[in-house]
A and B are shown apart, each in its own frame.
Chain A
């Protein structure tokens, strides 16, 4: 994919977990997957509210999820991305994380 991963504004730097393999330093991505129940406006709201994206950008991201089935909504170190995935789960979005390519 040629998409540019978006970085949320004001990302929090967190210490790495102790004893982790060097691969933990690889950037991770937070994915949000399309699902038939969450509404377009709610997903847009979540992206704008949690990541602080302007509504137009949040809406664009929502469309990417909807039309492609999934989209990278944030990238960064593993701890930070896990915080974002947890927030997406708190909002009820279907979100996963994986090492970036």
Chain B
């Protein structure tokens, strides 16, 4: 019953995704998983704290509470797990990034990790580009080639198309209604 998704991605595109996912891994700076759970725990305890002044990290790890004390407790309890989750997702995608005859094959049970990672790469790029409002997103739609943001914005849009392809694939062959549009929000 296991379904798989075939993405048309050339080697240049997989190389780009590979590069971006490795930057994401560097950023979340999650300790590598160990067989020994105690070692894992120690690694988490000693992991470098996230740099909250970095807008990318602020976007990838948003606050849950208004209340500062509750928020501090939330971070203490959830941050290591969120970091590990994002890193595991990225590693899983990296492991799948081999293009054979222009196609990358994703097993259905790995699709969620792909979706989360591609979305995280989009969010990270948007944060880097300072795209915090709909107006700012619109403002970078048509940049001259000379603008230093031109190429990153192209990558941002390409990630959006890739994400859309993955979302549509996740709906599979079910007969449920599909979402109406892929336009940015």
Contacts and interface: CB of A to CB of B under 8 A. Distances in A.
B131 A55 contact: no
Given A36-B133, A82-B74, A41 B164 contact: yes
Interface in B120-163: 120, 122-123, 126, 131-134, 136-137, 160, 163
Contact of A97 (B60, B65, B163, B171): B65
A64 B98 CA distance: 39
Contact of B185 (A36, A89, A90, A95): A36
B178 interface: yes
B72 interface: no
A43 B185 contact: yes
Nearest to B164: A41
A63 B66 CA distance: 25
Given A34-B185, A42-B167, A59-B180, A92 B65 contact: no
Given A37-B184, A44-B179, A92-B120, A86 B81 contact: yes
A59 B177 CA distance: 9
B62 A89 contact: yes
Interface residues of B, number: 45
Contact of A40 (B131, B177, B183): B183
Interface string A59-98: 1001000100000000000000010011001111011111
B40 interface: no
B99 interface: no
Interface in A7-26: none
Contacts of B103: none
Contacts, number: 106
Contacts of B126: 37
B85 A90 contact: yes
Q: Most chain-B Cβ atoms within 10 A of its Cβ — which of A34, A35, A54, A92?
A: A92
B11 interface: no
Could you say which interface size class chain A belongs to?
20 to 34
Contact of B64 (A49, A90, A96): A96
A92 B75 CA distance: 16
Interface in B49-70: 60-66
Contacts of A4: none
9 contacts: A36-B133, A36-B185, A37-B184, A39-B167, A43-B185, A59-B179, A82-B78, A96-B65, A98-B65
Interface of B: 60-66, 74, 77-78, 81-82, 85-86, 112, 115-116, 119-120, 122-123, 126, 131-134, 136-137, 160, 163-164, 167-168, 170-171, 176-185
Given A42-B115, A62-B179, A66-B185, 5 more contacts: A36-B185, A40-B183, A41-B181, A59-B179, A82-B64
